[in-house]
Structure 1
Amino acid sequence: MKKKILIVDDQPGICMLLTDILTNEGYHVETAKTGKEGLDKVTSSSFQLLMIDYKLPIYNAFEVIRLMNQTGVSTRTIVMSGITEEVIRENEDCSNVESVLTKPFNIQEVCDLVKSIIG
């Protein structure tokens, strides 16, 4: 059975790129455009990994993670951002954040990181 990854990003190009890369690596990928949509999907279905952009409409990444944790969902998470310093500061409270991925990212780095987290 394929491992499921949820990608939450309001930039369609990022979602398409990551979907193509990770589908080719053998994962089942779903996407969401807003923090709210991502939260709804991650709390209603089982994912092995959440890849979420820091700045999103409605809820940012850490609001989604806090709300996930309140509902008992502890999906392993990669936060993606072009402003990593701010993200790393806010990340200190979130134990299920495995990594902060700096945009723009290297495709091989993404593949290696996902494999290291969920196999």
Structure 2
Amino acid sequence: MRRKILIVDDEVGIRLLLEDLLESEGYEVVTAQTGKEALNMIELHTFDLIMIDYKLPVMDGIEVVKQLNKENKTISTILMSGLAENIKDETEGLPNLIKVLSKPFNVLEVRDYINQVLAE
């Protein structure tokens, strides 16, 4: 069965970039623009990994991660941020958060990291 990844970013370019990259690696990719849309997708599908932007309209990435923790949904999560250094305090102690990824990122490093995580 193919591994399923949810990509959540309000920037269409980043969604398309990651979607193309990860689909070419054989993953099934679903995308969302907002945190609320992401939570709806998580209700409908089972994901192996979530890549979510920190800054999202309505509900930011941290809020989504906290909501999933409240609901005891354990999905490995990568938080993407242009301000990775500034959000360390907010991300402390979030059990599903496996990585904070600084934007802009190296797509090959991201691909290799995801392959490694999902191979486990």
Q: With structure 2 as the length reference, what TM-score do the two structures score? A: 0.95
- SS in structure 1 at match of 2:73: coil
CA shift, 1:87, in A, is 2.3
The answer for the alignment partner of 1:28 in structure 2 is 28
Which is worse superposed, 31-40 or 41-50?
41-50
Runs of 4+ aligned residues of structure 1 deviating over 4 Å after TM superposition are none
What fraction of aligned residue pairs are identical, expressed as a percent?
Answer: 46
In structure 1, the gaps of 5 or more residues are: none
CA shift, 1:44, in A, is 2.8
Cα distance in 1 between the residues matched to 2:101 and 2:59: 19
- SS in structure 2 at match of 1:110: helix
Cα distance in 2 between the residues matched to 1:8 and 1:77: 11
One-letter amino acid of the counterpart of residue 57, structure 2:
P
Which is worse superposed, 67-76 or 11-20?
67-76
CA shift, 1:72, in A, is 2.0
CA shift, 1:86, in A, is 2.1
CA shift, 1:107, in A, is 1.0
- SS in structure 1 at match of 2:14: helix
Q: With structure 1 as the length reference, what TM-score do the two structures score? A: 0.95
The answer for the alignment partner of 1:47 in structure 2 is 47
Q: Could you report, residue by residue, the CA deviation over 1:43-78 in whole angstroms, capped at 9, with x for unpaired residues?
A: 331000000000001111110011111222111000
Q: Superposed, which structure 2 residues align to 1:101-112 within 5 Å?
A: 101-112=101-112
- SS in structure 2 at match of 1:79: strand
The answer for the alignment partner of 1:72 in structure 2 is 72
The answer for the alignment partner of 2:116 in structure 1 is 116
- SS in structure 1 at match of 2:38: helix
